[in-house]
Amino acid sequence: MTKNWILKTVLLCTLFILFSCQKEKAKPEIKTYRAGVILSFDDAYVDEWFDTDQKLKQYSWKATFCVCKINTLRHYEIKKLLEFQKEGHEIAGHGLHHYHAEKFVKKYGIKDYFKQEINPMLRLMSFYGLKITSFVYPYGGRNPKLDAALLNVFKIIRGRAFCEEDASKQGCYFNHSKIVYSFSIDDTHNHFNIPHLMKLLDYAKKNDEILILNSHKTVENVTADYQTKNATLELICKYIRCNNMKFYTLSDLDNIQ
């Protein structure tokens, strides 16, 4: 009789502990930040970006302009970049020559990569008064050794995401690391279309995620590859406003755990 009672008690305790553990595991993750979007723009389409900014200012939008070939820009273009910075947009580095980092390093080594592509870019951007803390890989070409070397100089690095049909499997959400990946919203990008973009935005909203997007030249009407319609950007701005989401810049991610 006593033995039976002890056995019953042990069994009940075990069940209770098991149940408690499962409950602990199922606890949802509490996010300390709001759902949002990072809109990043690559290369050097300063005039087009400036026109887009005039249209989208009404939405209090924030962009990250990832600039390459700073040495080829005219004085008036540098002034526009400084105005962006003053308005709260971020200017990021995208290489002095826009070299494919991984291919360059394979051929010439990492020391030459910094000597030709990174250090002169940072010197010139700092001379102009541009504060650079993020870097974006041209063509998304990267490897872990390059990531580690560049993270000695930059706080956040952005590559390009692999494309998946399923929104939840996309690698283009903030991943709590210093290396993040973006989804291209250029109009002729194979995987881009408005319903898919809406799926990505809905997923970010429902799961308190930060969606990272990239674009190149901003236009009213698409005439070639690497162009994003201003209408697409306006749609994103409206979505963010309607759903009480937030615009982030790449460097904002450095302050989020």
Residue holding tokens 């008690």?
9
Interaction residues for Zn ion, span 131-190 (CB under 5 A):
138
Of residues 107, 191, 110, 93, the one with CA closest to residue 148: 110
CB 99 within 8 A of CB 109: no
Q: Which is nearer to Zn ion, 161 or 204 (CB)?
A: 161
CA 197 to chain CA mean position, Å: 15
Helix 230-242, helix 46-56: angle, nearest 10: 40
113 vs 203 by CB, closer to Zn ion: 113
Reading the block at residue 53, the tokens are 């900014």
CB of 19 to Zn ion, least distance (A): 54
**Min. distance of Cβ 242 from Zn ion in angstroms?**
31
Nearest CA among 237, 220, 246, 236 for reference residue 51: 220
252 touching Zn ion, by CB under 5 A: no
Residue from the set 37, 38, 40, 42 that interacts with Zn ion by CB under 5 A = 42
CB of 138 to Zn ion, least distance (A): 4
* Cβ 24 to Zn ion shortest distance, Å: 46
Candidates 34-42, 57-65, 175-183, 217-225; binding stretch for Zn ion (CB under 5 A): 34-42
Cβ distance to Zn ion smaller for residue 180 or 245: 180
Do 31 and 257 form a contact (C-beta atoms < 8 A)? Answer: no
Name 93's bridge partners.
67, 135
43 binds Zn ion (CB under 5 A): yes
Candidate ranges 27-35, 43-51, 178-186, 187-195; the one touching Zn ion (CB under 5 A)? 43-51
Q: How far is the CB of 218 from Zn ion (least distance, A)?
A: 14
Number of residues that bind Zn ion (CB under 5 A): 3
**Residue nearer to Zn ion on the CB measure, 42 or 48:** 42
Residue nearest to Zn ion (CB): 42
User: Nearer Cβ to Zn ion, position 187 or 209?
Assistant: 187
| Whole-number Å distance between alpha carbons of 103 and 107 | 7
CB of 44 to Zn ion, least distance (A): 9
User: Concatenated DSSP letters for 30-78?
Assistant: PPSS--EEEEEEEES-HHHHHHHHHHHGGGT--EEEEE--GGG--HHHH
**Beta carbon of residue 14, minimum distance to Zn ion (angstroms, whole number):** 59
Distance of alpha carbon 246 from alpha carbon 130, whole angstroms: 24
- Positions touching Zn ion (CB under 5 A) are 42-43, 138
